[in-house]
């Protein structure tokens, strides 16, 4: 029986899947191929690019008008800028796949002689020319993982593809698709031989189009889960399917990983007669984050890049000012970290949870020795959030400056320290949902804490925390008034019983006596407490 796929391309006989070619504008792709165009297909990692290329290869070969070959060039990455070694690897991969897929031995039999005669900067072009001449059927080449190649190797591949573009389709491939995480325009290539950076677009200025693969739609997520229910007979209870959509926003790997975790590793696997609940989905999310699975670990690694941090840190702070460029934003969107359209925001709630955890991992490890979650759990099993925020004030006064400086962003640093402190306590029994985006002037946290009532019934208690930063001349009364209004609206929308407005005073020269205060809820108004830090 089939399962949800968490690694590699999908195969319909082994995996629940959305047919790969249904996820792209196939008519557009076929038209580009027919028009002898060279173009780019790009998308974040583990979104289905390879599955689409393999499905396209099978379709074109079955139709018989073209010879189509998929080739993965990632093996050339190990060669670095040793172009000769990389070309041997690439020609070997092309030869092997041509033999296996097309039953064509031409490249296998000629690759060694071509490499020695034409050298690393000419052998690929000559190979493709002779191979195109050897068969009247036009050749279509699908090159996957192109942006894993580096430096002079990548430049050489791009320039050899460009060099004989005018000979297509009789003496060069009819069409070439370059597939990777980024668009070719964003390849940042340093050439050791030329001693300078070269833009990828200039080395491949024959690109006709740049197509981006999107995430699953909400309907596709439901279709995928319905395949499981139809085959296994186990339903998704209530809003469980919607919860998967809410948490992932259709990111294909996350959708499959959450479903696999809930259906095959959680309680549902032990009792297949029980429907899969929202709680099971939330437990699956926590398990994936806790294990730092490869997909999320790779995502976290990108946070070390300066151009990623320039976009992400203002977002965490809800900052109204930022200094990143359009290219920085395009890059982070290509990585899949930021939503493709609309407000500049984290792409999905799981990434929104992972990013601050990763940025504060070292801080959190230190908090394990300094903060005991039991201090802030009441005798009735409730969360003493007021005590927790009071404890944070003391902690921030004593330790914050070094941690704030570490993050290199005046507004994001304090809020990341708060995230880490809350995470240490809340995640011992509840959960935190984060909402932030550039230009909002604030960031919001929703805390959910399960507590058993006196009648023995489980109840989810909800609290909202809103963070604001005071850096300029904005008056405190105005900040508090705006914050209370925003919090009241947010509390009403999510059914929270209390709200807390945390104001970080980052103005120069302010004493701690001025910065640390607490203002209780206004009589007759919403239950909102203001904390100065």
pTM: 0.87
Query: What is the overall mean pLDDT for the chain?
Result: 90
222 lies in the same domain as 204: no
Q: What is the DSSP string of 406-431?
A: HHT-TTHHHHHHHHHHHHHHHTTTSE
66 lies in the same domain as 200: yes
Give the CATH number of the domain where residue 82 resides.
3.40.50.300
- Per the structure, the count of domains in the chain is 3
Instruction: Examine residue 13 and state whether it is found in any structural domain, yes or no.
Output: no
**Which band of pLDDT confidence, cut at 50, 70 and 90, is reported for residue 435?**
confident
Three-state secondary-structure class, residue 443:
strand
Instruction: Examine residue 241 and state whether it is found in any structural domain, yes or no.
Output: yes
131 lies in the same domain as 230: no
226 lies in the same domain as 203: no
**Which band of pLDDT confidence, cut at 50, 70 and 90, is reported for residue 371?**
very high
pLDDT in tens, 507-524: 888 899 999 999 999 998
Domain of residue 284, residue span: 218-291
Cα separation, 99 vs 129, whole angstroms:
18
126 lies in the same domain as 273: no
Domain boundary (148, 182, 212) is at 212
Instruction: Examine residue 407 and state whether it is found in any structural domain, yes or no.
Output: yes
255 lies in the same domain as 336: no
Domain boundary (212, 234, 257) is at 212
Give the CATH number of the domain where residue 260 resides.
1.10.8
Q: Average the pLDDT over each of 137-146, 359-368, 520-529 and give the range with the smallest value.
A: 359-368
pLDDT in tens, 40-89: 999 998 999 999 999 999 999 999 999 999 999 999 999 998 999 999 99
Domain boundary (149, 178, 212) is at 212
**Strands 443-452 vs 431-435: parallel, antiparallel or unpaired:** antiparallel
**Residue 361 or 122, more confident:** 122
**Predicted confidence (pLDDT) at residue 190 exceeds the cutoff of 60:** no
264 lies in the same domain as 329: no
- The answer to whether 380 touches 389, Cβ cutoff 8 Å, is no
471 lies in the same domain as 363: yes
236 lies in the same domain as 124: no
Instruction: Examine residue 304 and state whether it is found in any structural domain, yes or no.
Output: no
- The answer to whether 197 touches 162, Cβ cutoff 8 Å, is no
Instruction: Examine residue 321 and state whether it is found in any structural domain, yes or no.
Output: yes
Instruction: Examine residue 11 and state whether it is found in any structural domain, yes or no.
Output: no
358 lies in the same domain as 338: yes
Q: What is the mean pLDDT of residues 368-372?
A: 91
Among 248, 446, 415, 189, CA closest to 316: 415
Instruction: Examine residue 297 and state whether it is found in any structural domain, yes or no.
Output: no
239 lies in the same domain as 327: no
458, with CB counted inside 10 A (0-12, 13-18, 19+), is exposed
- The answer to whether 442 touches 415, Cβ cutoff 8 Å, is no
- pLDDT in the model for residue 195: 61
188 lies in the same domain as 279: no
Among 404, 406, 415, CA closest to 502: 415
């Amino acid at each position: 029986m089939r399962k949800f796929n968490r690694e590699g391309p999908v195969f319909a006989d082994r995996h629940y899947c959305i047919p790969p070619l249904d996820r792209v504008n196939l008519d557009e792709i076929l038209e580009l191929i027919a028009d002898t165009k060279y173009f780019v297909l790009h998308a974040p990692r583990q979104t289905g690019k390879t599955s689409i290329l393999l499905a396209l290869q099978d379709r074109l070969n079955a139709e018989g008008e073209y010879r189509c070959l998929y080739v993965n060039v990632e093996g050339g990455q190990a060669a670095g800028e040793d172009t000769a070694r990389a070309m041997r690897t690439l020609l070997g991969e092309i030869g092997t796949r041509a033999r296996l897929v097309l039953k064509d031995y031409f490249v296998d039999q000629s690759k060694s002689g071509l490499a020695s005669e034409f050298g690393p900067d000419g052998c690929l072009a000559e190979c493709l020319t002779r191979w195109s001449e050897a068969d009247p059927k036009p050749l279509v080449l699908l090159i996957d993982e192109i942006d894993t190649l580096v430096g002079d190797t990548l430049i050489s591949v791009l320039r050899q593809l460009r060099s004989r573009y005018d000979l297509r389709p009789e003496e060069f491939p009819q069409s070439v698709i370059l597939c990777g995480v980024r668009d070719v325009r964003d390849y940042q290539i340093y050439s050791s031989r030329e001693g300078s950076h070269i833009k990828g677009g200039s080395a491949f200025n024959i690109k006709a189009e740049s197509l981006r693969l999107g995430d699953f739609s909400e309907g596709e997520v439901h279709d995928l889960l319905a395949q499981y229910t139809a085959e296994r007979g186990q339903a998704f209870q209530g809003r469980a399917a919607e919860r998967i959509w809410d948490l992932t926003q259709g990111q294909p790997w996350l959708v499959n990983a959450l479903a696999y975790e809930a259906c095959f590793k959680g309680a549902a696997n032990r009792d297949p007669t029980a429907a899969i609940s929202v709680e099971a989905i939330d437990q699956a999310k926590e398990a994936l984050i806790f294990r730092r699975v490869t997909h999320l670990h790779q995502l976290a690694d990108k946070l070390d890049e300066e151009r990623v941090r320039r976009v992400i840190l203002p977002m965490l702070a809800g900052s109204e000012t930022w200094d990143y460029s359009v290219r920085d934003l395009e890059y982070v969107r290509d990585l899949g970290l930021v939503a493709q359209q609309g407000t500049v925001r984290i792409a999905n709630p799981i990434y929104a949870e992972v990013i601050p955890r990763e940025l504060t991992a070292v801080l959190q490890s230190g908090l394990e020795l300094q903060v005991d979650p039991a201090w802030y759990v009441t005798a009735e099993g409730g969360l003493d959030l007021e005590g927790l925020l009071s404890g944070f004030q003391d902690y921030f006064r004593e330790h914050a400056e070094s941690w704030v400086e570490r993050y290199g962003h005046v507004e994001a640093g304090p809020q990341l320290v708060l995230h880490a402190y809350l995470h240490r306590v809340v995640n011992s029994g509840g959960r935190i949902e984060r909402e932030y985006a550039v230009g909002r002037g604030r960031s919001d946290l929703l805390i959910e804490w399960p507590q058993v009532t006196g009648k023995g019934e489980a109840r989810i208690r909800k609290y909202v925390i809103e963070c604001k930063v005071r850096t300029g001349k904005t008056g405190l009364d105005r900040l508090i008034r705006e914050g209370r209004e925003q919090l009241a609206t947010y509390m009403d929308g999510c059914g929270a019983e209390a709200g807390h407005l945390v104001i970080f005073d980052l103005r120069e020269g302010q004493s701690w006596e001025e910065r640390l205060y607490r203002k209780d809820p206004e009589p007759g108004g919403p239950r909102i407490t203001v904390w100065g830090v």
